[in-house]
Structure 1
Amino acid sequence: MPVAAGLLAPVPASAAETDGTSIIVTARGRAEALIAVPDTITAFDRQDIMARGLQTVDDIIAATPGVFIINDQDPGTNLISIRGVSTNRNQVPSIVYSVDGMALADPELFTLRAYDLASIEVLKGPQGALFGRSASGGVVNLTTVDAGPEAGGEARLGIGNGFTWTADAAVNAPLSSKVQLRLAGSFRDTDGFITNSFLGKKVDGFTSRNLRARLRAELSEASVLKLRLGWADEDGGAAYISSSNVTGLFGGRLAGKALANPVGDFEGRSSREWWGAQATLESELGNGMRLFWTAGLDDYSKDFVEELDFRNGPVTVFGTTFPQGLAPIAQPVGIRDYTSEARLISADDGRLRWLAGIFLQRLERDRTDDFGPLLFGAEAQRSETRSSQIGLFAQASYDLVPTVEATAALRYDRDDRKERSVGVNSGAVSVRREHVFEKVQPKLSLAWRPSANLTAYATGAIGFKAGGFNPAPFPPVDYQALFPSETTRSVEAGIKTALAGGRVRLSLAGFLTDYENFQNTVFFGNSIVFSVPRVDVHGLEVALDADLGAGFRLDGGAAWTESRIGRYLAPNPTPEEGEPAVLDLSGNRTPNAPDWTVNGALSWQGDLGAARINARISMAHVSRVDFEIDNILHSPGYTTVDTRLAATLGQWTFDIWAKNLFDRRWAISAFGQQQLPLLLSLEPGGPFDSFTINSGRQFGAGASLRF
C-alpha cells in the first residue's frame, strides 16, 4: 500500500521503520522506497495528513515547496503551478490529479473535498511518459483509505470561527472474510470570513456534503476487485471580488490599504454536484507479474452566477449605462467523462523491471457563457467540447551494475478534440471546430545507489499540454482561433540521502525547463489564450526531515524557481491614445509562479501523564506573485504560521488548531485594468482592478473517537 496503511489496517513493517528506505511511493507504477526514485517527490502518509490537517488541495499544496495554487471565482475554478508550469482557466490542466490510480479528466474536479486519505504524493517536473498529456508540470496522486478486515472506525466533530462546523466519519464493515466495506463521509458548513461592506454580510460561506463507499473483494488468492462510489454536493458564496484602482493608486501592489473588502451589490453564488464510480482489478499472473486495470466515470454539474462590475449602483461601460449593474452573469458547467487504464507490470526483483499500458479517456464538457445585460438581447452561447484521448506507454528499468540503474520510458498521446458553439435557446450552431493534438513523450534517467541510504540521479523528460480553441476573433485584437500545444523539455539532477541511521533525510535537486508555446490566458470579455513562444525556467529545491530526539522533529523545504518569458511581443489589450499597439513583455515573470516557496515545522510527540501529546507549529512563505503577464498587479511576499495541539486519551483525541495565526492578508487572485478593457472603461469612478482577498485567520477545536 502506498506510503502508509489505512486507518484501521496494520501498519506494514516498511512504514514503521526509521531508516532511509521506510517511505514507500508508487511514482513509477510500483511500490518503491522514496529515496530510490530518481524524481523529486513530496510524500505524506496518513499520520502526516492528520498531524498537518490536510483536508483540501490548498492544504496539500501549501505544505509542498515549489507548488502554488489559486482558487479563483468559484469552487471549481483553480490554477495550479508546479515549478513555474501553470494551469490556465477552462483549458487542459498542466498537472495530472489522480485519485486511487485514476486521472481526473478536468480541473473542475480537483477541488472536491479530500477526506479519509491514506497517502499523498506530489511529483514535480514533466511526468508525461507515465501519466500523459496533462503531466507537463507534475502529478498530485491521492489514495483514499481502503476497506479493511477489522470492524471499527473513527468519527470527528469540529467547530471553528466563522461559525464553522465540521463532521467526518469512516467505518469498516467486513461482510465476510473475503469481502470488506468501508463507508466514509465529510461535512463542512461555515458562515464565511469575507465581509461585503455594501451588503453588510459574509459572502464566502458554503456547505459541503460528501459520501464515499469502498468495497474490496478477494476473487481468488491472486485477484482483488475494488469498487468505489462517491458523491459530493456543495453550495455557497462565489465571486466575492473586490475592486479599486490598484494600478493607479498603489502601482499594482496588492497589500495594505489596497486590500479593500468587496462592495458589489450582487451576491455571487455557486452550487455543484458530483457523482463518481470506479472499479479496479489487481491480479497476480505468476512469476511476480501483475495486471492493474481501472475504469471509472464522473458526472459533474455546476451552476454559477455573479456580477462583472463588482460595484454598487448603476454603472457605465463603453458609454452604455446599466441601471442594475452588470448582473446577473451565469456560467454553468456540465462534465461527463469515462476513463480506463490497464497496466502490465513485471516482477519487482529482477535486474530488468518493466511495465506497459494503455490509457483511454472520453470527456464531454459543456459551458455556457451567459453575459446577461452585455448580450444586449442576443442569445447566450454554449461551448460543447468533446475530447477522445488514447495513450500508449511503456517503461523499463535495468541495473547496469548493482549500484547503477538506467530507466527509459516512452508514451504516445493522441487527443482528438472537437468543439462547437451552440445557441442555448435556438440550438443553432455558430462555430464548429476540430483538431488532433498528439505527442511522443520520452523520459530517461540514471540513478546511482552506492547504499540503501543514498541515491544520486539525473533525469530528462518531455511533457506536453494539448492546445485548444479560442472564441471567434473580434476586432481590434487579433488572435488565433486555434492555439497550439504547450511543450516542456526538462532536465533535473539531484541527490537523496538518509543520515544518522535514518533519523535525518535530506534531498537536493536542481532543474532546467524550457517551454514552447506557453499558454497564457487573457480576458477580452471571455477567456482567450495567447501562445508565448518561449519561457525559461530554472531552480533549486531542498527538503529536510530530521528526528531531533526526545520526541522533537524538524521538517521543511524550500524551492527557488525563476520562470521568465523569452522574447515576446504581444498585442496591447487596452490601447490608450499615445500607447503602443504592441507590448514588449520579454523577461517578465510568468503569472502565478512565485520565485520562492518555503515551509518548515517543528513538532513534538510524547507522553504527558496519561495523555499522548502531539504539538506542531509550522510556517510557510510565498514570495511575490504576479497575476498577469504584464506584471502590474501583484501580491508581495507573505509568511503565515499554523499551529496544532492534540492530546490522545485512550480512544479519544482532542485538538485545537489555528491557520494563519497572525491574520495576514493578501490577494489570492486578480484581474487588471491593463489586461481587461471592461475594467478600464468602467464608470463612475473608474478605472478599476478586481481582486480576491484571502479569508484571514481561522481557528478551531475538535474531538475524535476511534471505535
Structure 2
Amino acid sequence: MRRKAALHIARTPVIFAVLCAGLSVGLPTAVRAAEAAGEDPIIVTARGRPEAQIAVPDTVTVFTQDDIARRRLTTVDDFIAQTPGVFMINDQDPGTNMITVRGVSTNRNQSPSIAYVVDGLALADSELFTLHTYDVARVEILKGPQGALFGRSASGGAVDIATNDPTDEAGGMASIGIGNGFTWTADGVVNAPVSERVQLRLAGSYRNSDGFIRNSYLDKKVDGFISRNLRLKARIETSETSTLKLRLAWANEEGGAAYISSENVTGRNGGRLSGTILTDPQGDFEGRFAREWWGAQATFEQELGDALMLSWSGGYDNYHKDFSEELDFRHDTPVTLDGLALFPDGIQPISQPVDIEAWTSEMRLTSRGAGPLRWHAGFFFQRLERDRTDEFGPLLFGAEAQRAETRSNQIGLFAQVSYDVLPTIEATLGLRYDRDRRKEDTVGADSATIYARRAQTFDKWQPKISLAWHPSQDFTGYVTGSVGFKSGGFNPLPGASDVWSANFAAETVKSLEAGVKGRLVDGRVRLAMAGFVTDYSNFQNTVFLGNSVVLSVPEVNVHGLEASAQADLGLGFSLDGGAAWTHSRVGRYTTPNPTPEPGEPDVLDLTGNRTPNAPDWTLNGGIGWQGDAGPALIDARLSVAYVSRVDFEIDNILHTPGYASVDGRIGVDLGAWSLEVWAKNLFDKRWAISAFGQQQLPLLLGLGPDGPYDSFTINTGRQFGLGATRRF
C-alpha cells in the first residue's frame, strides 16, 4: 500500500509553501488514506470535544504518536522546541521552569501563564510541568489566551497531553537505549485486558545519565540524573453507557542542579553570552536536587441518551523537592562582598525545599452529535497547598530561615456554544468565571513564628468569541478574540531598601487573532497562517533580586505572525517547516534602579525593551524519508531549529545571540523489532539557556574577589545514542 500511494503521489508536483508552526511531521500511511477519503485525520480536543484540527478557529500545534516517535520527543522541552512561538527555560533544577508563549513568559514560584493539562485535568503548579513524558498518545499546544476553557492559568496558552489508555488487545513493548554521557534508558508498556469490560495498562520509564556539563574546578560532570517513572491505568465499562477510568502514577528523580557558570559578561562582553565567555562551571559546591511525585486520577463518563454526555474527573497530586546550591558559583575563598571577607567558605549551602499538595475536580456536561448546535458547560475546583522554605545559609547572617505557606482555592464556571449560522459559517461563544482565593503565611522555618499573613481574592470573567468560515472541509478562515488572566500573588517580604512590593496584581490579557488553514492536493499539503495582536496589563515580570520577586509592568504590547506547512513530496519524502515572528515590547514603564552606582540614574526607563525570554524569531524545518529496504521499513529525518536573540532580563543587558540546532534520526522497522540511531544538536553548538546579572542583583555586583560577576547556565551540547524496541 505504501508503494502504490508513493507512485500516485509522485505524479503530483513538489509543493511547499509557507514556513510552519509545526503541526506534524510528514503524513503516515493511515493519514494519507484518511485524507484520500476527504477527511482530516488529525483530531484534536482543543475545544472540549473531538473534532478535525483544520476546523478549530485557533492556532493548535498537534503531535501525534507517530510524530513523537519520528522526532524522538521525550520531554516537554522537546515538544516546545518544535513549536515556533513558544520558548522554554529550565533553570537551576528540573522543577523550576519558565514557559514563554507569544512573547510573554511565566514567572517562578507563582501561577503559570500556560495551562498544563494531562488526561483532561490541569496540573496545579509549574513544578509538575517537567515530569517525564512517556507512553503519550497525543500532545496539543494552543497559543493565545485560553481562559474560557482552561481558566486562570491559561493567559498565554495551554499544553494538553493525553497518555495512552488501556485497550482490549493484549500486548506491549520494551525498549532500551544507550547514549553519550553514559546515558541508559529503558521503557516498557504492558496492555492487559482482564475481561471484556476491564482493561489495564502499565507503563514505565527509566533514565540514568552521568551528564554532559563538566565543572572545571571539581573536575567532574555535574548535570547527571536518574529518573524513574511508573503509571498504571484502568478502563472499566461499568455499564453499556458508562465508563470509569483510573490512573495512578509515580515519579522519582535525583541529580545535579544549579550547574551555573560565573563570569563578568557585562563588563567583558557587553552582556553578550557567546564565544569564549561561555566558560564551564567552576564553583566548589555541587548543586543537587531530588524530587518525588505521586498522582491519582479518576474519570467517570455517563451517556445520557443520544444527546448528552456527563463526565467528572478528580485528581490528587503530592510532590516534594529538595534542592541545594551555592550562590557565588566560584571556588575562590574567602568570598568578599564590597571588599569585605564576609564568607570564608563561600555562599553555601543554599536550599529551597518545596512541598505541594493539590486536589483538582471538574464536572462537565457536553452535547453529543454533529448537529448545528454544539455546547458544553462545567464546573472546576482546585485546592493548592504549597510550602517553600528559603534557607539562604550564610546570607541570613544567623537569622532564621523563612517558609512561605501558600494556599489557593480556585473555582471556575464555564460554558461554550458553537452554532452553524450558515452551512459554511460557525460562531462560537465561550465564557468562564474564575475566582481564586489566595493566602500566604510567612513563618519561621524552625520557630513557626508568623512574620506576615496576607490574603487576597482574584477573579475575572473571561470571554472568547470566534467566527469561522468553512467553504469546504479543506479550508477554514477564522477570527478569534479572547480574554485571559493570571492571579496575582505575594512576593517575599521586602526590606526597607528593597524595590519590590509585598503583593503584586493579577495579569490581564486581551488578544485578537485571525488566520487561515487549508489542505491541498488531496490533503498531501497542509498550510496554516495566523496573525495576532495581544495586550498585557500588569505583566508579572520575574526578577532575581536575591530571591525571585515579581515587579508588575503596567503594559506589554505584542503582535506577530505565524505560518506552517507540511507536504508529502512523493517517493516517500515529506517536508515540514515553521516560523513565528513575535514582536513583544514593554510599554511605558519606569522602575527603581536595583543596582544604582555613582553617575547612574535612580530610576530606569525600560519603555520599548524586549520582554525576557521572548525571541523575536523561532523557526524550524525538517525533511523526512520513509521507504522499504527489503524486509525493513526505513524512517529517516533531519531537522533544524533556530531561535533569535534571547534577552534574559528586562534591562536587555544579558542576552544570547541567535543560534541553530540540527537533529537527526534513522529508524529501522523489522516487524516486531525497531532499531534507531539519533542525534540532537548534531554540530555541538553552545549557547546560554538562562542567566541573571549584576545589573539586577546587587550581590553579584559587589561579589569578589575579581568581581563583579554574572551567572549563566550553558546547554548540554551534542547528545546521541542508539535504541532498540521489541513489540509483543
Sort the TM-score into its range (normalised by shorter chain): over 0.9
Give the aligned partner of residue 175 of structure 2: 156
Q: What CA deviation, in whole Å up to 9, does each residue of 1:354-408 have, x standing for no partner?
A: 1100000000000000000111111100100000000000000111100000000
C-alpha contact 1:213 1:228 (8 A) present in aligned 2: yes
Counterparts of 1:554 and 1:18 in 2: how far apart (Å)? Answer: 22
Matched to 2:337, the amino acid is: V
Equivalent positions of 1:207-356 (< 5 A) are 207-312=226-331, 313-318=333-338, 319-356=340-377
Give the aligned partner of residue 7 of structure 1: none
Q: What CA deviation, in whole Å up to 9, does each residue of 1:154-193 have, x standing for no partner?
A: 1110000000000000010111111000000000000000
2:164 counterpart (145, 158, 171):
145
Counterparts of 1:606 and 1:18 in 2: how far apart (Å)? Answer: 23
Give the aligned partner of residue 151 of structure 2: 132
Give the aligned partner of residue 197 of structure 2: 178
Query: C-alpha displacement at 1:258, in angstroms?
Result: 1.0
Query: C-alpha displacement at 1:555, in angstroms?
Result: 1.2
Give the aligned partner of residue 691 of structure 1: 712
Identity %: 67
Give the aligned partner of residue 3 of structure 2: none
Counterparts of 1:348 and 1:387 in 2: how far apart (Å)? Answer: 37
Number of residue-to-residue matches in the alignment: 700
Query: Which consecutive residues of structure 1, in runs of 5 or more, have no partner in the other structure?
Result: 5-9
Give the aligned partner of residue 591 of structure 1: 612
Counterparts of 1:547 and 1:16 in 2: how far apart (Å)? Answer: 12
Alignment partner of 1:49: what SS? helix
Give the aligned partner of residue 542 of structure 1: 563
The answer to whether 1:102 aligns with 2:121 is yes
Q: What CA deviation, in whole Å up to 9, does each residue of 1:311-345 have, x standing for no partner?
A: 00320124342111000001000000000001100
- Which runs of 4 or more aligned residues in structure 1 lie more than 6 Å from their structure 2 counterparts after TM superposition? 10-16
Alignment partner of 2:522: what SS? helix
Query: Which consecutive residues of structure 2, in runs of 5 or more, have no partner in the other structure?
Result: 1-22
CA RMSD of aligned residues (A): 1.4
Greater RCO structure (CA 8 Å; 6+ sep): 2
Alignment partner of 1:358: what SS? strand
1:659 counterpart (660, 673, 680):
680
Matched to 2:228, the amino acid is: R
Counterparts of 1:197 and 1:488 in 2: how far apart (Å)? Answer: 45
Query: C-alpha displacement at 1:241, in angstroms?
Result: 0.1
Counterparts of 1:348 and 1:102 in 2: how far apart (Å)? Answer: 24
Matched to 1:483, the amino acid is: F
Matched to 1:593, the amino acid is: A
1:619 counterpart (640, 646, 653):
640
Query: C-alpha displacement at 1:11, in angstroms?
Result: 7.7
Q: What CA deviation, in whole Å up to 9, does each residue of 1:511-558 have, x standing for no partner?
A: 000000000111222121111000000000001111111111111210
Q: What CA deviation, in whole Å up to 9, does each residue of 1:20-68 have, x standing for no partner?
A: 6211000000000000000000001101111111110110001111110
Counterparts of 1:81 and 1:522 in 2: how far apart (Å)? Answer: 15
Matched to 2:301, the amino acid is: E
C-alpha contact 2:429 2:465 (8 A) present in aligned 1: yes
Query: C-alpha displacement at 1:474, in angstroms?
Result: 1.5
Query: C-alpha displacement at 1:441, in angstroms?
Result: 0.3
Query: C-alpha displacement at 1:347, in angstroms?
Result: 1.9
C-alpha contact 1:297 1:336 (8 A) present in aligned 2: yes
Give the aligned partner of residue 372 of structure 1: 393
Query: C-alpha displacement at 1:574, in angstroms?
Result: 0.3
Give the aligned partner of residue 421 of structure 1: 442
Query: C-alpha displacement at 1:470, in angstroms?
Result: 1.2
Alignment partner of 1:38: what SS? coil
Q: What CA deviation, in whole Å up to 9, does each residue of 1:437-467 have, x standing for no partner?
A: 0000000000000000000000000000000
Give the aligned partner of residue 115 of structure 1: 134
Q: What CA deviation, in whole Å up to 9, does each residue of 1:649-700 have, x standing for no partner?
A: 1200010000000000000000010000000000100000000000000000
Counterparts of 2:241 and 2:446 in 1: how far apart (Å)? Answer: 55
Alignment partner of 1:219: what SS? strand
C-alpha contact 2:353 2:388 (8 A) present in aligned 1: yes
The 1:410–1:284 alpha-carbon spacing in structure 2 relative to 1, beyond 3 Å, is same
Counterparts of 1:627 and 1:620 in 2: how far apart (Å)? Answer: 20
Q: Which moved more, 1:11-20 or 1:665-674?
A: 11-20
Alignment partner of 1:662: what SS? coil
The answer to whether 1:477 aligns with 2:498 is yes
2:538 counterpart (511, 517, 524):
517
The answer to whether 1:440 aligns with 2:461 is yes
Query: C-alpha displacement at 1:603, in angstroms?
Result: 0.5
Matched to 2:373, the amino acid is: L
The answer to whether 1:579 aligns with 2:596 is no
Q: Which moved more, 1:379-388 or 1:347-356?
A: 347-356
2:48 counterpart (29, 41, 44):
29
Query: C-alpha displacement at 1:475, in angstroms?
Result: 3.0
Counterparts of 1:92 and 1:401 in 2: how far apart (Å)? Answer: 40
Counterparts of 2:680 and 2:31 in 1: how far apart (Å)? Answer: 32
Counterparts of 1:618 and 1:173 in 2: how far apart (Å)? Answer: 37
Equivalent positions of 1:665-684 (< 5 A) are 665-684=686-705
Equivalent positions of 1:426-505 (< 5 A) are 426-505=447-526
Q: Which moved more, 1:151-160 or 1:466-475?
A: 466-475
C-alpha contact 1:253 1:636 (8 A) present in aligned 2: yes
Counterparts of 1:179 and 1:396 in 2: how far apart (Å)? Answer: 34
Q: What CA deviation, in whole Å up to 9, does each residue of 1:577-617 have, x standing for no partner?
A: 11100001000000000000000110011101111000000
Counterparts of 2:73 and 2:301 in 1: how far apart (Å)? Answer: 29
Counterparts of 1:294 and 1:473 in 2: how far apart (Å)? Answer: 40
C-alpha contact 1:358 1:391 (8 A) present in aligned 2: yes
Query: C-alpha displacement at 1:15, in angstroms?
Result: 6.2
2:663 counterpart (642, 650, 667):
642
Query: C-alpha displacement at 1:478, in angstroms?
Result: 3.3
Query: C-alpha displacement at 1:420, in angstroms?
Result: 0.5
Normalising by structure 1, we get a TM-score of 0.98
Q: Which moved more, 1:279-288 or 1:538-547?
A: 279-288
The 1:285–1:354 alpha-carbon spacing in structure 2 relative to 1, beyond 3 Å, is same
2:722 counterpart (697, 701, 704):
701
C-alpha contact 2:261 2:279 (8 A) present in aligned 1: yes
Give the aligned partner of residue 192 of structure 1: 211
Counterparts of 2:643 and 2:39 in 1: how far apart (Å)? Answer: 30
Query: C-alpha displacement at 1:18, in angstroms?
Result: 7.1
Matched to 1:24, the amino acid is: I
1:44 counterpart (63, 83, 89):
63
Normalising by structure 2, we get a TM-score of 0.95
Query: C-alpha displacement at 1:348, in angstroms?
Result: 3.0
Counterparts of 1:20 and 1:499 in 2: how far apart (Å)? Answer: 12
C-alpha contact 2:31 2:41 (8 A) present in aligned 1: no
C-alpha contact 1:14 1:23 (8 A) present in aligned 2: no
Alignment partner of 2:721: what SS? strand
C-alpha contact 2:334 2:341 (8 A) present in aligned 1: no
Counterparts of 1:504 and 1:18 in 2: how far apart (Å)? Answer: 15
Counterparts of 1:508 and 1:690 in 2: how far apart (Å)? Answer: 39
Alignment partner of 1:22: what SS? coil
Query: C-alpha displacement at 1:308, in angstroms?
Result: 0.2
Alignment partner of 2:418: what SS? strand
Matched to 1:43, the amino acid is: V
Alignment partner of 1:501: what SS? coil
